[in-house]
Structure 1
Amino acid sequence: MYIVAIGWAYVILMMAITASSVGKALAILVFLGALPIALFVYVVGGRKRRVRSMTVSDQVADQRNATDPETD
């Protein structure tokens, strides 16, 4: 999925290079490039964050069960 972000960044970079002024180029890079790519990476990486957080909470629960003698 990151190939989509790389392709999008390339297209936006080419648009910024052909802009008529530096201000327009910076606006294109920020509003059409950096913000959408950051949002995309955040949304796509959400599954990994959830799995990582569940793994940590499962480890904590396992440690509590291992130290508690009256769990069974």
Structure 2
Amino acid sequence: MWIVAIGWMYVVTLMAATEPSVVGGMMTFLGYGVLPLSLVLYLGGVRLRRRPRAAPRSEPGAAPDDADPPGH
């Protein structure tokens, strides 16, 4: 997924560089690059952020990570 993001930002950077004005280039870079890519990467990472939380629930006999060992 990272290679696609890097490739997309490369294309958007070249698109922004060919705009006739600096403001147009910045709007192209933000509108086609940064904002959509941040949304896609955030939504794509939701599954990865949920995985560690779901791991202790998957094993019924597993102790929570913050529990102290017996005798301490």
Q: What TM-score results when the alignment is normalised by the length of structure 2?
A: 0.73
1:62 paired with 2:63, answer: yes
Percent of residue pairs bearing the same amino acid type: 40
* Higher relative contact order (CA closer than 8 Å, sequence separation 6+): 1
| Aligned pairs for 1:10-21 within 5 A | 10-21=10-21
Cα shift at 1:40: 1.3
| Deviating 4+ runs (over 6 angstroms) | none
Structure 2 unpaired stretches of 5+:
none
Q: What TM-score results when the alignment is normalised by the length of structure 1?
A: 0.73
Structure 1 unpaired stretches of 5+:
68-72
2:11 maps to amino acid: V
Cα shift at 1:46: 1.3
Pairs aligned (count): 62
| Aligned pairs for 1:20-59 within 5 A | 20-55=20-55, 58=56
